[in-house]
Amino acid sequence: MTEISMASITFKNVVKRYGKGKGANQVINAINAEIRDGEFVVIVGPSGCGKSTLLRMLAGLEEVTEGEISIGGRVVNDLEPSERDIAMVFQNYALYPHMSVFENMAYGLKIAKVPAEEIKARVDKAAKILEIGPFLQRKPRELSGGQRQRVAMGRAIVRHPQVFLFDEPLSNLDAKLRAQTRIEIQKLHRELGITSLFVTHDQVEAMTLAERMIVINLGAMEQFGTPEEVYSRPATTFVASFIGSPPMNLLKNAPDALSGIITGVRPEHLEITETGWSLHVETVEMLGAERLVYGRWTHGSGDEMVIVRIEEGHPVPTVGSTICVTPRANKIHYFDASTGKRVEANSRAGQ
């Protein structure tokens, strides 16, 4: 069986606008990114931020207004989707209901006039990888949602593309199936090693699947890095609030803050202490092995809500009580209030 090829992907000053002149709506703002051969990259951001548009431009389903997109060093701006050597898995599976699983997976190869013997070999191997071999003669209506999604992935695998594109492929699955399918996608990538881009609005999917992740907001790339980098050193207040559940506390009037600085502390990095920031406990949420304490911190400029995460076994404060919390010194983040961009601790003294 032929080896599946791999290719790097480059976005160079990529812009997308709908319309012309002053009334044009710019939805992608000068994206620059280099995705390595065989890398699994997740594009994550809220609904309507432009992430699917970026993926569709790569696939050739949307025109590029400005800039260049390259696959394997070849600029693909003017190439038809069929000429880009990519395969795409959509949210809605897009299976032919009157065809069997085998026929659905083989259809693209049949149209491309691949010999019948090779078609069978490719489909059988993909079915084995995805554990759908017993279902090859069934129709899509006889399958569960998770099985249909695996068929859609199998149909893409058999084409031996350079690039694998996923556009919100797990959105129609329930929570248990989503978690199971994430594991299957990770296994698939380890097996094939194919360059993959995966679009999602779900930050849990992004954190668990990505080797690196592109965080997009309002058409702009806020940060590109590993899940650890994005979580531990968010580049902007948007990233800090979007990645992580619950989100990072972003405080405008922390005791040691300089003028124009927002102080960020994740809920798990606040500890209940004898002295510190005084919080009036308003709500406590039980989340299995942990509790989330929502406390209001009142100060001269007003008040702010602060979330504290408490692990199982630690005393849980009662609603209506007052507690003191202290952030871990090496887990405090600082952001410029006017730009939202990260400010390193050693540069604060000069402000």
Token representation of residue 11: 């976005």
222 close to 216: Cβ distance less than 8 angstroms: yes
On whether both 151 and 270 belong to a single domain, the answer is no
Between 62-66, 150-154, 306-310, 319-323, the lowest mean confidence (pLDDT) is in 150-154
Domain check: are 158 and 82 in the same one?
Answer: yes
Same domain, residue pair 144 and 89: yes
Per DSSP, the chain holds a count of helices (H) and strands (E) of 9, 19
Give 200-227 pLDDT, tens digit per residue: 999 999 999 999 999 999 999 999 999 9
Kindly state whether residues 217 and 298 are assigned to the same domain.
Answer: no
Claim: this prediction has a pTM higher than 0.85: yes
- For 313-348, how does the pLDDT look when each residue is reduced to its tens digit (9 = 90+)? 888 899 999 999 999 989 999 999 999 999 986 655
Assess contact for 145 and 177: CB atoms under 8 A.
Answer: yes
- Residue 112 pLDDT > 50: yes
Residue 338 has a pLDDT of: 93
Nearest C-alpha neighbor of 150 from the set 185, 176, 115, 119:
185
What backbone phi and psi angles, to 5 degrees, belong to 331?
Answer: -120, 20
Strand partners, 304: 297
The CATH number linked to 147 is 3.40.50.300
* Phi and psi angles of residue 181, each rounded to the nearest 5 degrees, phi first: -70, -30
For 33, how many CA atoms within 13 A lie in the half-sphere containing its CB?
27
Check whether residue 254 and residue 230 sit in a common domain: no
The DSSP code for 150 is H
Q: Beta 195-200 vs 212-217: how paired, if at all?
A: unpaired
Which CATH number belongs to the domain containing residue 296 in this structure?
A: 2.40.50.140
Percent above pLDDT 70 for the chain = 95
Evaluate whether residue 18 is within a structural domain: yes
222 and 288 co-located in one domain:
no
The answer to whether 328 and 271 are in contact (CB under 8 A) is yes
Residue 228 and residue 89 share a domain: yes
In a domain, 1, yes or no: no
Task: Give the domain range for residue 281.
Answer: 250-348
The stretches of 161-319 forming alpha helices (DSSP H) are 175-192, 203-209, 227-232, 237-242
How far, CA to CA in Å, does 127 sit from each of 38, 141, 329? Answer: 21, 18, 51
CB-based contacts of 58, cutoff 8 Å, min separation 6: 9, 11, 69, 71, 76, 84, 86, 163, 165, 197
**Measured between alpha carbons, how far is 287 from 221 in angstroms, rounded to an integer?**
32
How many domains does one find in the chain? Answer: 2
Question: What whole-number distance in Å separates Cα of residue 314 and Cα of residue 289?
Answer: 10
**Domain ends where: 197, 212, 237?**
237
Closest C-alpha among 193, 190, 186, 194 to residue 170: 186
**Model confidence over 246-286: pLDDT tens digits?**
999 999 877 666 688 999 999 999 999 999 889 999 999 99
Tell me: cis bond preceding 46? Omega within 30 of 0 counts.
Answer: no
Q: Closest by alpha carbon to 76, among 89, 88, 63? A: 63
